[in-house]
Amino acid sequence: MSGHKLLFSGLKLWTSGTSRWISGLHDGVNKSGKACFSSCSPKVCIVGSGPAGFYTAQHLIKARQDVEVDIYERLPVPFGLVRFGVAPDHPEVKNVINTFTQTAKHSRCSFYGNVNVGKDVSIEELRQAYHAVVLSYGAEGNRSMGVPGEDLAGVYSAKDFVGWYNGLPSCGELSPDLSCETAVILGQGNVALDVARILLCPIDILEKTDITQPALDALAESQVRRVLIVGRRGPIQVACTIKELREMVNLPDTRPEMAAADFEGVTEALKDLPRPRKRLTELMVKTALEIPGEKEQERRNKASRTWGLKFFRSPVEILSDPDRKRTAGIRLAVNRLEGSGDSSRAVLTGEVEDVTCGLVISSIGYKSLPIDPSVPFDSHKAIVPNNMGRVQQAAGLYCSGWLKTGPTGVIATTMNNSFDTARSLLEDMDSGTLDVSPAKPGSQSISALLDKRGVKPVVFSDWEKIDSVEMSRGKAIGKPREKLLTVEGMLQEAQK
């Protein structure tokens, strides 16, 4: 739609080119303290305030001068995995929060935290109140290994372990037992490497990050000295990226532990690999096979901890101690590869190998979950079935982020797929496929519903109070932030 258009709706007059009310005609203020715009503005609501939610909102607001966007978030705090996933020792990644904050503070965007969509308000109610609803609620479940013993004490999903060290309220009680010497991580993606690095990272590095204090205390007492990162396929198929592998290679006080036999034929295959994969594999080969220089050898000799990538192994069973109470090891099937490159498959050889360990962390991927029975959900792929972000057979319903694509991709990938969804939505508005002519109440009616149900949304300025408390708590102990760990604690600060 072109800018500088005058929109009339009853007594209200809004000029979309200048993004402001013509003075005297409007004095409405919504629950987030923002000026209310025309009741005939297209109203879009977004479910989830992670990168997908914020990037979708950003694109919509920028592309059309009349769209109003409300973001509903289950937790009282925004930013999804940027807050609760990204490793505490990667603060630079969290700079995207500055862009998200600009979007949240835009006059046509409002944030409503502490609203659990699917429970506090249904998707159908949102669809009644808005012209379009974008589902961007991420992937909050995890793939399970499906092997016996998975429920033993000492076995955790990476999702919970990451949530624990990053202060996700639902993981506050995890208290992982770190009294063993060896930890096994299943999966060789970047999450697995994040977890391995946090388990082995010297405390004097971690204590300068925003890792939670209970996690820092537990890691300071940790007896874990050896971390094996186990993949079902070979070195050429690892899912991690070079930056994260290099961080492992250079992690102070650690040395690598790899089996030369796992690298058979890999050096020969290097020349045919695409460049990023080639550089990643070269680093692995160098780390595993080359005799290090004197200085590096000395560093390795002095190291008190080891880490290793272990290949061609799939979990078969988590072994328990004699009391059948906690994990004492893991049985791994030995695989061989069928095919080559990315598409090769792990095939069982029939051989098994037992590894003694007291901690098993399964890092084989996250998984989206359905939140409302009225929304189509492909339980096989664990995504909302969609065509370029348009939810199939549900006009006015869209999806973006990990819920749309499945749980892979860095923030930049999520940004692109969210912009694509916003483009689909805008196209539908422009073409008339999405009818934005009937006036919709937007947050007004949803706020009334939430009020009736006793739900108190946390608006962005409330989050800023939480933010400021967390930063002062951090400052007092030399950390960038000390997160509040419970929803109650967050709400208390928000409501002050």
Binding site for ligand NAP (CB under 6 A): 143, 186-192, 194, 231-233, 237, 239, 244, 314, 363-366, 407-410
What DSSP element (H or E) covers 387? strand 386-387
Q: Which is nearer to ligand NAP, 51 or 457 (CB)?
A: 51
Nearest approach in angstroms of CB 369 to ligand FAD is: 8
Q: Tokens for 330?
A: 């893991």
Q: From residue 464, how far is each of 78, 459, 461, 491 by CA, in Å?
A: 10, 9, 5, 12
Between residue 198 and residue 217, which ones bind ligand FAD under the rule CB under 6 A?
Answer: none
Where does this chain touch ligand FAD (CB under 6 A) — which range of 286-294, 313-321, 374-382, 404-412? 404-412
Q: Tokens for 161?
A: 């372990």
| CB of 56 closer than 8 Å to CB of 134 | yes
Asked if residue 192 binds ligand FAD (CB under 6 A), the reply is no
Nearest to 266 by CA among 284, 248, 240, 290: 284
Half-sphere exposure of 129 (CA within 13 A, CB side): 22
User: Which of 97, 134, 171, 191 contacts ligand FAD by CB under 6 A?
Assistant: 191
186 binds, among ligand FAD, ligand NAP, none (CB under 5 to 8 A by kind): ligand NAP
| CB of 458 closer than 8 Å to CB of 29 | no
The size of the chain, in residues, is 496
Nearest approach in angstroms of CB 328 to ligand FAD is: 27
Q: Residue 254: phi, psi to the nearest 5?
A: -130, 155
Asked if residue 388 binds ligand FAD (CB under 6 A), the reply is no
Asked if residue 371 binds ligand FAD (CB under 6 A), the reply is yes
Between residue 97 and residue 116, which ones bind ligand FAD under the rule CB under 6 A?
Answer: 116
Q: Is 319 helix (H, G, I), strand (E, B) or coil?
A: strand
127 binds, among ligand FAD, ligand NAP, none (CB under 5 to 8 A by kind): none
Q: Which is nearer to ligand FAD, 315 or 401 (CB)?
A: 401
Q: Tokens for 40?
A: 């005939």
Q: Which is nearer to ligand NAP, 109 or 186 (CB)?
A: 186
The number of residues that bind ligand FAD (CB under 6 A) is 35
Q: Which is nearer to ligand FAD, 90 or 105 (CB)?
A: 90
Asked if residue 188 binds ligand FAD (CB under 6 A), the reply is no
The C-alpha atoms of residue 96 and residue 415 are separated, in whole angstroms, by: 11
How many other CB atoms sit within 10 Å of the CB of residue 480? 14
Residue that the structure tokens 């715009």 belong to: 37
| CB of 209 closer than 8 Å to CB of 479 | yes
Asked if residue 406 binds ligand FAD (CB under 6 A), the reply is no
Between residue 445 and residue 474, which ones bind ligand FAD under the rule CB under 6 A?
Answer: none
Q: Tokens for 485?
A: 């760990």
164 binds, among ligand NAP, ligand FAD, none (CB under 5 to 8 A by kind): none
The C-alpha atoms of residue 229 and residue 360 are separated, in whole angstroms, by: 10
Nearest approach in angstroms of CB 254 to ligand FAD is: 20
Asked if residue 50 binds ligand FAD (CB under 6 A), the reply is yes
Q: What residues have CB less than 8 Å from 92, skipping those under 6 apart?
A: none
User: Which of 118, 202, 441, 480 contacts ligand FAD by CB under 6 A?
Assistant: 118
Where does this chain touch ligand FAD (CB under 6 A) — which range of 74-82, 178-186, 202-210, 475-483? 74-82
End-to-end CA distance of the chain: give it in Å, rounded: 42
Asked if residue 122 binds ligand FAD (CB under 6 A), the reply is no
Nearest approach in angstroms of CB 377 to ligand NAP is: 20
Nearest approach in angstroms of CB 401 to ligand NAP is: 12
| CB of 429 closer than 8 Å to CB of 1 | yes
| CB of 42 closer than 8 Å to CB of 128 | no
Asked if residue 75 binds ligand FAD (CB under 6 A), the reply is yes
Nearest to 200 by CA among 256, 262, 251, 271: 251
Nearest approach in angstroms of CB 187 to ligand NAP is: 3
Q: Residue 411: phi, psi to the nearest 5?
A: -60, -40
Nearest approach in angstroms of CB 384 to ligand FAD is: 11
Which parts of this chain interact with ligand FAD (CB under 6 A)? 47-53, 72-75, 80-81, 85-86, 90, 93, 116-118, 136-138, 140, 162, 191, 194, 366, 371, 401-402, 409-411, 414
